[in-house]
Amino acid sequence: MRLLFLCLILQVSNSLAQTADSVAPQQHYMLHCQGCHQADGSGLPGSVPSMRNLVGKFLAVPGGREYLVQVPGSSLSPLNDAELAELLNWLLLSMSAQNLPPDFQAYSESEVKLLRSETMLDLLTTRAAIVSRFPPEPESSPESSP
Ligand code: HEC
């Protein structure tokens, strides 16, 4: 498993290097996201869900891949499509690597551009439907029941 994560990280950092710009995804996160999501992704209880050990689960269920781009915090951010792709890839690997599906594919600029052009109309219903598709946890923890 450890080797698999290492491979994933190498694969993503390679693809990030190809689109590297002067601002690292962590800096974009600090500037545009952590006010709500907190530096460690733990969110604000009752208003902003934790991304830790959770956000990767969205990629394993139908609709989740689109959702992570179309959620307003992502889609309405001032970042361009390449920057948002990098930021989401960084977020997934740094906060939720152990929840990623084995066939995880990093977001690309073109995928983000396409998904971002569609607006999600009913956020809460969409999110609740996707979360209900997560596989059941062996034991419940606050992180897994947002
Ligand atoms: C004004 C507060 C705020 C800011 C700023 C913000 N978000 Fe969010 N984010 C939320 C809230 C609240 C949710 C839960 C869904 C919703 O109600 O929008 C969320 C959900 C998410 C999700 C889906 C996770 C889930 O469990 O639903 C992702 C991915 C995400 N945000 C990414 C980002 C990124 C990337 C940025 C910075 C570019 C960002 N957000 C900035 C408030 C914020």
User: What confidence score (pLDDT) does residue 118 get?
Assistant: 93
For the cut 70, the answer to whether the pLDDT of residue 20 exceeds it is no
- Which one of 26, 51, 71 would you pick to mutate in the ligand 1 pocket, going by the greatest count of ligand atoms within 8 A of its CB? 71
**SS3 of 94, please?**
helix
- For the chain, give every domain's residue range: 2-135
Distance between CA atoms of 112 and 20, rounded to whole angstroms?
16
Fold (topology level) of 2-135: Cytochrome Bc1 Complex; Chain D, domain 2 (1.10.760)
Under the banding of pLDDT at 50, 70 and 90, the label for residue 108 is: very high
For the cut 90, the answer to whether the pLDDT of residue 143 exceeds it is no
The answer to whether 146 and 47 are in contact (CB under 8 A) is: no
- Is the CA virtual torsion 99, 11, 105, 25 positive or negative? positive
Under the banding of pLDDT at 50, 70 and 90, the label for residue 137 is: confident
Provide mean pLDDT across the span 43-72.
97
User: What confidence score (pLDDT) does residue 4 get?
Assistant: 59
Distance between CA atoms of 67 and 125, rounded to whole angstroms?
11
What is the widest separation between alpha-carbon atoms in the chain?
42
User: What confidence score (pLDDT) does residue 55 get?
Assistant: 98
CA atoms within a 13 Å half-sphere pointing along the CA-CB vector of 18: 10
User: What confidence score (pLDDT) does residue 2 get?
Assistant: 62
The answer to whether 8 and 93 are in contact (CB under 8 A) is: yes
Sole residue written with tokens 């609709």: 63
Quick one: 140 exposed, middle or buried, by C-beta within 10 A (0-12, 13-18, 19+)?
exposed
Q: Kindly list the protein residues whose Cβ atom lies closer than 6 A to any atom of ligand 1.
A: 32-33, 35-37, 47-49, 51, 55, 68, 71-74, 77, 79, 87, 123, 127, 146
Query: Which structure tokens are listed for 43?
Result: 């969110």
Distance between CA atoms of 91 and 106, rounded to whole angstroms?
11
